[in-house]
Amino acid sequence: MTNEKQRNLTMLCDFYELTMGNGYLAAGMDERVTYFDLFFRSVPDGGGFAIAAGLEQIIDYVQDLHFDPEDIDYLRGRGIFSEDFLRYLENFRFTGDIWAVPEGTPVFPREPLLTVRAPAIQAQLLETYMLCAINHQSLIATKANRIVRAAQGRKVLEFGSRRAQGADAAIVGARAAYIGGCAGTACAISDQIYGVPAGGTMAHAWVQMFDTELDAFRAYCKTYPDSATLLVDTYNTLQSGVPNAIRAFDEILRPLGIEKCGIRLDSGDLAYLSRRARQMLDEAGWPQCTITCSNALDEYLIRDLISQGACIDCFGVGERLITAKSDPVFGGVYKLTAVEGTDGTITPKIKISENVGKITNPHFKKVWRLYARDTGKALADYLTVYDETVDDSGTMEIFDPEATWKRKEVYDFRAQELLQPIFRGGELVYEKPSLEQIKTYCAAQVGTLWDEVLRFENPHRYYVDLSKKLWDIKNGLLHDRK
């Protein structure tokens, strides 16, 4: 359980979820068991994969689902809901089942990240918050992972709280960035609530508060001798900032035998300035002094800086990470895929659209990932009907559903189910991993992807195939439109 201040978010729902719930009850369909999939249609920034995140917040939300008396009063005041429905909401709790991929899993378009099996009203009411949590955190985790991979092993810190779209976006955005691979955050409350390592040193205001830049640097080194990182671009980076930093290090840190220190650049030509600063620091006997750079960075600018020989040890990335500025919508959706009769028979449902990309994959499904036994690399994902298994003792032919003429043979592989049980009968059956475990798992799973899938530009399209049984069911529904 997190230390987040508890709020009742049950009313964080689209109003039509309440009007439909009222209608389901009136039509006698309130206990009709339904299946919904949460999935997304395209990877942000044209990437090869996304990172799933936000499950922990969904778990906390589902466990706290209830309507307070003031919620019931508000709904009664709208004058459109029956008293039977309001009484139903007074005793509302989630009693269904949920499966989800673990946070940190690389995921691909049109495969379920989460499946809900629950009575219709319950399943419908979950939609908005689930999409809010998954869409936001998966977006930020995906963007963070791109930036971290661009840094090629150099540390990346999340600096974006002041540019986030609201307090919640800053707080859980830092959490998602950490899952995606960032080493820490500037957001103190994210450390307090979730344990995302928070840190920071000074702003330009600190330097301006003192009579001289050197006085500011001396004072900071005296106050924080074991973690002194000095912002050197307030006035003139190379003529005063770096020389004054060196002088402060010499006067305050060297007599204490401290070699750990750093400088930060926040403006100017970062490639040139970092190279010159590195030369000056080395010549002054401070080879252990690190150089951090910030200033509207993203994966492409970081990649360019490295290619130009920039001497940067750490990148502080703000607005373009916390807002996923280049492609700020994840696009996850929540769609009905099946209904269950009183006899347990599951009837698949499909949404058909003139936009082929919006046609859904029907039925209650399993998601399998196929890994090569020799390399451990992920070969393809495979969607089956819930009662199917995958025989990984032989050879399989995998198709690309968007281009059925594209196929490849898969052999010597192992199959692993991705969707894990989270709730059964309304009870939590999943042991939530720590944030550190999620971060480590994410890095390991990204490591199973081929370099061609990891490319920023024109990545290889990873195969997500349907089993023959599922394909036939989908085709049958497409040709039997009702």
The whole-number pLDDT of residue 282 equals: 98
Q: Flag whether pLDDT at 482 surpasses 70.
A: no
The per-residue pLDDT for 257 is 97
The pLDDT confidence band at residue 404, using thresholds 50, 70 and 90, is low
Judge contact between 188 and 196, C-beta under 8 A. no
Would you list the DSSP string of 205-245? HHHHHSSSHHHHHHHHHHH-TTS-EEE--SS-IIIIIHHHH
Domain positions in the chain are 15-140+328-479, 201-314
**201-314 CATH, one of 3.30.70.890, 3.20.20.70, 3.40.50.720, 1.20.1050.10:** 3.20.20.70
Distance CA 369, CA 388 (A): 14
Sheet holding 332-340, edge to edge: 346-348, 332-340, 33-40, 114-119, 97-100, 420-424, 427-428
Alpha carbon distance 229, 250 (integer Å):
14
What pLDDT, on a 0 to 100 scale, did the predictor assign at position 48?
97
pLDDT in tens, 288-311: 999 999 999 999 999 999 999 999
Q: Is the per-residue pLDDT at 174 higher than 50?
A: yes
What is the spatial distance between Cα 92 and Cα 426, in angstroms, rounded to a whole number? 12
**For residue 5, is pLDDT > 50?**
no
Torsion sign, CA atoms 151, 153, 154, 158:
positive
- Are 64 and 8 spatial neighbours (Cβ–Cβ below 8 Å)? yes
Weakest mean pLDDT among 49-53, 112-116, 429-433, 477-481:
477-481
The answer to whether the CB of 158 falls within 8 A of the CB of 136 is no
Higher pLDDT, 354 or 269: 269
Percent of the chain with pLDDT over 90: 92
What mean pLDDT is reported for the chain? 95
Question: What is the predicted pLDDT for the residue at 1?
Answer: 41
Instruction: Label the pairing between strands 229-231 and 262-265.
Output: parallel
Question: Which helix (H) or strand (E) is 362 found in, with range?
Answer: none
Grade residue 440 by pLDDT with cuts at 50, 70 and 90.
very high
Judge whether residue 4 has pLDDT over 90: no
pLDDT of residue 479: 86
- Based on DSSP, count helices (H) and strands (E) in the chain, helices before strands: 17, 21
Mean pLDDT of 312-332: 96
pLDDT at 3 over 60: no
Torsion of CA 181, 302, 139, 455, to 10 degrees: -90
Alpha-carbon gap, residue 146 to 321, rounded angstroms: 10
Domain 15-140+328-479, what architecture?
Alpha-Beta Barrel (3.20)
